[in-house]
Amino acid sequence: MNSLSNRQLYFSGSFVCLVMILYALYAEHYLFLAPCPLCVLQRIAVVVTGILFLIAAIHLPETPKNYIYNTLILITSLAGTGIAGWHTWLQNLPADKVPSCGPGFDYLVGNFPLGDALLLIFSGSGECATTDWNFMWLSMPAWVAISCLLLASLSIFISYNSFNK
């Protein structure tokens, strides 16, 4: 049985990230689903993960450097999982527990220090708690969480694959 090379696996990870971002842009510009601040942070995590996968595919590091790439990919994909998980939790709050709507991502980042802006973003807002899109009974943040977990698993698999060569 022919196994996939690490380069093919890294390119696969970057391709998955590209598809996720393209769908997010499609949903924004053609389905008219405006991204909330947590959606923007999820996009950033997916983009950074995809760039790391792509750089690793091009560089194709030997085993010691491979672990550096895979650790960075693991961190960014788990960050995306955490943000998407938090977003999913906010979407499933009872109506009386949903925070009130707040300012958008650009306003928060442009007018507050980064630490304060992130605290405000993660406290959630009413716009983050709405579910405008579902597929197979799961919201978009739930699918992002699942996808980011799979990307994290892929980076672990690549490390395991490198170790066993």
Q: What end-to-end distance do the CA atoms of the chain give, in Å?
A: 15
How much is the mean pLDDT over the chain? 82
- Domain presence at residue 1: no
Sign of the torsion angle spanned by Cα atoms 94, 96, 100, 101: positive
**CATH number of the domain that residue 34 is part of:** 1.20.1550.10
For the chain, what is the domain count? 1
Q: What domain range is 29 assigned to?
A: 6-163
User: What DSSP line would sit under 106-155, residue for residue?
Assistant: HHHHHHS-HHHHHHHHHH--HHHH----EETTEEHHHHHHHHHHHHHHHH
- Domain presence at residue 36: yes
pTM exceeds 0.85, yes or no: no
- Domain presence at residue 62: yes
Residue 101's SS3 state is: coil
pLDDT digits (tens, 9 = 90+) for 42-94: 999 999 999 999 999 998 877 677 888 999 999 999 999 999 998 888 877 76
Residue 14's SS3 state is: helix
- Domain presence at residue 105: yes
pLDDT of residue 1: 32
- Domain presence at residue 145: yes
